[in-house]
Structures are given as structure tokens and as C-alpha cells.
Structure 1
Amino acid sequence: MTEEVYLGIDTSCYTTSLFFMDREGHAAAETRRILKVKPGGCGLQQSEMLYQHTRNLPELMEEAARGHSFTVRGIGVSARPRPREDSYMPAFLAGLGFARSLAALYGIPLWQISHQENHLEAALWSANGPDADRFLFLHASGGTTDLLLAEKENAAYRLTEIGGSLDLHAGQFVDRVGVALGLGFPAGPALEQLAEQHTEIPEIPVSVHKTKVSLSGPCTWVLRAIEKAKPETEESPIAAANLAAGVQWGLAETFVRMIRNGAAEHHVKHVILAGGVCANRWIRNHIVEKLAKRGIRVWMPDNHYSGDNASGCAAYAQRQGEGQH
């Protein structure tokens, strides 16, 4: 039986993703693959990202389509990092070229959005809300730590940056600490697992001014603490676990203060979280608990759809294709 679907494609800095969504907005199939980074490495060059995406896309398509008979009605693709004309990153050319080729071959619509909008759409689709015309959107990942005001415009959202990091991104903070602790890259899931063994949570420095934050100072503080704790770390994981828990606390507290200030300034009572860093359960719980005291409701996608994935591109294409507003 043929399934009518919309295809989402996202080729970010560290994940190749495909997602098929049916006409009713339900997941039909998905595949994703994290790009390979050599042990001890802290990232990839854009040329290496492009190479791996180019190899991954056909294999992921074969995997996703296996056992299905799809009729693709339209394609959504992440074409650039942010919804700005000057936003550009070569990694997204792999997905964009793949999407343009398919759209031209089959004569179907192609909708280009940014990677950031893909994260928002994925979160909205997974969390089923908020059902509000104005809300805050926190996007925290390896390449982004942005607080944005989302305002509904027909079948899309206009994003205005109202705050964020002045230096280091949240995911970079996590990865630098994780690698210093001997964890693999990217370090988010492993750092969260390590932090579960903590016996205490050190309150690391937090630097927040209204909706602008700095993470380089807190990161330097933790890296110095790791150097001091190295002899103990080799004998016992407790010191490392405590510092990992401290990183979680510092990021969560930074996000809370930034969101609280932004909500007051822009008179909104809803915030949606997305990005790999926001998949951390401890960070999520801390944000929800603290903001609830201020009457701010937090919307969160399923953890599976918080990090890089193509469901947002598919959801955007489905909404456009079905004429939903």
C-alpha cells in the first residue's frame, strides 16, 4: 500500500537526518546518523562534515524507505543555520542539494527553512504546543545558545533573537569539559550519565546580564577545577561526577535567569526548549521547577526530538502542503 508522506532532511554539524511524516502529521519513518569524530577530537572541519553527509544520505534513504512504498508530496530541508540572509554553513549544502535533486526529479514542492527553525518545528510537533501566538524559544546546542521571541505569522513563525551567549555556546561548554574528563565527543549524553554519580553539586560561577550570558568564564573555572582534581579523578569518579553535575547546574541556572528576564521584558508566559543541551533531563527538570514559581510554562519535546533531527523540516513541509495554519 502506498503511503503519502512529506520528507524532512537535515544535515547539521554532527548529524545526518531523514524523516518521513504522513499527511496527518504522524511519523512514518526516520533515520539519523551521528558524524564520526576521532577519539580525543573536539570537532570536525566543514569539508569532513560534507564528506560524511554525502556518504550518509543515500544509505539513510535506503534504510528509511525499506519496507515502505512512499509517495512524497513535498520536501522540507534545513538550508542554513539561522533564519537570516547572512547565515551560511557548508554542511547544509549536502542536504539542500539532495533535496533539490529529489524535488526536481519528482516535480514536488521544496520548502527551505533554517536549522534553527527545524529545531523549533520539531519541538512544537513533539510537544504539541504551545498554542500561543507569542512565546520564547531557547535553542541550546553545540553551535547555538540563543533565546528567541517566536511570533506566529500564518503557517510559520518569525524568530527574533532577544538574548544568548556572548562567547561560548552551551554545547561547546559541555564538550570541552567532557573531553577534559576523558569522555567522547560530543560529550552530552556521557556527561549526563557521569553526573548521576555525584555526591554534591558545586555551584559554579554564573554570568547573566538580562538576556545576555557568558559561558567562557564558567567553563574556564570548571577546567581549572578538573586540573586540580586530576589525582583524585584517577582514583575515584566522584570528583569528576561532581564537576559534571556542576556543569548541569550552571547551565540550567543560566537558562532559568535568561528566560525569566526575557519573559518579563516581552510579557510572555510560555517557553519551548530545543537543542541537544536541552535534552539533558536534569537541566530540563531544574528549568521547569524554577520557572513554575514565576508562572512560566515550559514546553519540551520528547528527548529523541530535542537534539538534531529532521522531524521539524518534515512537520513544516506537512503543514505547508496540507494548508494548515
Structure 2
Amino acid sequence: MNKEAAILGIDTSNYTTSLALITLEDELLVDKRKLLPVKEGLLGLRQSEAVFNHIKELPLLAKAISKENSRFEIVAISSATKPRPLPDSYMPVFIAAESFGYTMSNLFHVPFYKFSHQEGHIQAGLWSLSLKLKRPFFALHISGGTTELLKVIPKEVGYKIDILGSSSDISAGQFIDRIGVKLKLPFPAGAHMEALINKEIVDHVNIPVSVKNNSISFSGPETYIQRKLKENIKDDLIAYSVFQCVGKSLYQLIKNASTQDTCRDILLVGGVASNKIIREYLSEKLNQEAFKTYFALPNYCSDNAVGIASLGVECFKHKVDGN
């Protein structure tokens, strides 16, 4: 029986171990992810703990893939090896994906492609929408570790990415998680906070927004709402107010940056981009500013290896030399 050629993508982010298999036609065969455990009350993992957990989980996910599908033949491997596509970008967690991928590529004598975690998010977002943008576009990458507005220029394979704006302190995801943990919710807290809002809320705490030019600060809004927690405001109102503040801040950042550029297509990716309240706020406001907004499907907003595998498909089809 002839086996179907597939690319294996690997991503080992701060909190998720991910493997994905995609055919050369960009069809997803397998998507396996494991959220790393964080003890109750903590706001994350040390890098050493995360690396240790990735090393434990990668063989288990690989075993699950091999059991689930015997139709494929891995013809190339691609890994997320750093946070951003910059020469000095580094984070220890990605050593696990690079080591695992490079080792297997040598054993199987197949090409090995290296990408950044951020490129994987952008590619996963576009892939989830069956979208190919050939002209430059904005991308808003909002997650537990990143809040960045990017200008993305598509290349034959991959993208050229420039940072137009960002957070000057904590990310949108950290802001949400810090308040969520204060509300005694599990980490990461975003989805649990959103689940608190099971009815329409017509009022909210007006958290001051701190955006100057192309820079957001979330530490000020966090301090403000931390004080408000002492006033016995209902948890669902706190959650809604935090999401509103994030939406307003991101909108202002985009509006400020857009005065310097003619792009009107914007892709939203990263775990925070899956939040329904933030999506609805940004969609309404950006449409009023004549933006065409593209929200990655929620399952492909959070950390995954699908985008990394899809980028590997592009490299393989264009016969890019692997490492």
C-alpha cells in the first residue's frame, strides 16, 4: 500500500506541547496537543519546568500519532525553534522542539525546517480560514506571552514580519491570567473567565486604557482592577470589564499604527484572539474603520503545531534546503 506523504510539525511553547501532521495538499491528518500542568494558584511555569514537561510529553504524543494513523510517510519535519523570526530571539522551551525535530530528521534522512512560534501562529490562522493573502497585511498576535501588532509581507515561502506596536510591560494574556487567578480560576484563566459570563452584561467597570502612540501598558489597568476586587464586585462583571479593557486597548493600538500605513487587512491570532467578547468588540470597531478583519478559528488561535507543519509543506513543495 502506498503511503501518503506528510510533514510533521512540532511546537513546544510555554504551556503546550504540540505535534501535527499535514499532507502536501495542506490537509490536516493529525493534531495532538498537551497542555502543561500548572499548580493551582500559580501564574505559570519556570522555563526549566516547561522544558522538562515537553521532553516527557513529546514521545507520548509521537506514540499517539503513530498508533492513530498508519497511512502516512513523514517526508520532512518542521519545528518552532524560537519565539519570533529575529536573529536574537530565544526562549529555552523551544529547544525541545528543535532537538526532537532535528534528531528525527537525521534518523529518517528527511529535511528539517526551522520557523518561529509567531510565524506558526500566523500560518495556522490563515490555514484555518483557507486564506492566502498575497498582499501585505496586519497581524495582531495576542497571547499569554505576546501582544504585538505586526506588518506581515508574504514571501514565496513564509513571511517578512515587522513589529509596529506592542505592550510595554505585561501582555494581554498575562493581564487576563493575573486577574483570573485572583478570582481563584485555573491557569491559564482566559477560557474560565469567559465561561463566567453566561448572560448579557449591560454595564462594566470602566478600566482606564493606557495606550500611547504604538505602545500599550496593561500593568496600570491591572493595578486599577486589582483594587476594584476589594469592592466585592461580581466575578462575571470583573471578567467582562477586563475583556472590554483589552479590546479597547488593542483597538486604539491598531488605530494609532494604521495612521502610518495603508494596510486594511488584519489577521488576529494567539490564544486571546479566541475570546468572544474581545472578538466582537474589535470586529465592530475595526469594521467602522474600513478594516477587513480575519479571526483565526478559535481552535487554531491557541498554541498548536498546525501552522508550523503547514509552513513545512510550503518549504518542501518549493524544494527549500532543510538543515
Q: TM-score range by the shorter chain?
A: over 0.9
Q: Work out whether residues 136 and 263 of structure 1, in 8 Å CA contact, stay in contact via their aligned partners in 2.
A: no
1:24-69 residue CA offsets vs partner (Å, 9 max, x unmatched): 1010011000000011111111111011101100111111222312
**TM-score computed with the length of structure 1 as normaliser:** 0.94
Match for 2:107 among 102, 105, 108?
105
Q: Tell me how far 1:261 sits from its aligned partner.
A: 2.2
Give 1:193's match in structure 2, choosing from 192, 195, 198.
Answer: 195
Give 2:269's match in structure 1, choosing from 264, 267, 274.
Answer: 274
Structure 2 gap segments, 5+ residues each: none
Q: Shift in Å at residue 323 of structure 1?
A: 2.2
Compute the TM-score of the two structures, normalised by the length of structure 2.
0.95
Deviation by residue 1:148-178 (Cα, 9 ceiling, x = unmatched): 1101222221010110100111110011000
Q: Which residue of 1 aligns with 2:217?
A: 214
- State the percentage of identical aligned residues: 36
| Higher alpha-carbon deviation: 307-316 or 199-208 | 199-208
Which has the higher mean CA deviation after the structures are superposed, 8-17 or 61-70? 61-70
- Give RMSD over aligned pairs: 1.5
Select 1:308's aligned residue among 299, 303, 306. 303
Task: Provide the rounded CA distance (Å) in 1 between the counterparts of 2:303 and 2:282.
Answer: 21
Asked whether the 8 Å contact 2:206–2:241 carries over to 1, the reply is yes
**Secondary structure, counterpart of 1:242 in structure 2:** helix
> Any idea what SS the aligned residue of 1:21 has?
strand
- What pairs up with 1:1-325 in 2 under 5 angstroms? 1=1, 2-69=3-70, 70-129=72-131, 131-197=133-199, 198=201, 200-229=203-232, 239-323=234-318
Cα distance between partner residues in 2 of 1:204 and 1:65: 49
Query: For the structure 1 residues 324 and 296, does the alpha-carbon distance in structure 2 shift closer, same or farther, using more than 3 Å as the test?
Result: farther
Mapped partners of 1:205, 1:132: distance in 2 = 38
Secondary structure class of the residue paired with 2:48:
helix
1:271–1:299 Cα contact (<8 Å) kept: yes
Q: Which whole-Å CA distance do the structure 2 matches of 1:324 and 1:218 have between them?
A: 48
C-alpha contact (below 8 Å) 2:133/2:154 kept by paired residues: no
> Could you tell me how far apart the structure 1 residues matched to 2:134 and 2:287 are?
18
SS of 1:250's equivalent in the other structure is: helix
String of CA shifts for 1:198-219, please: whole Å, max 9, x gaps. 4522221111122211110001
TM-superposed CA distance for 1:130, in Å, is 5.3
Residue of structure 2 equivalent to 1:235: none
Q: Which amino acid aligns with 2:5?
A: E
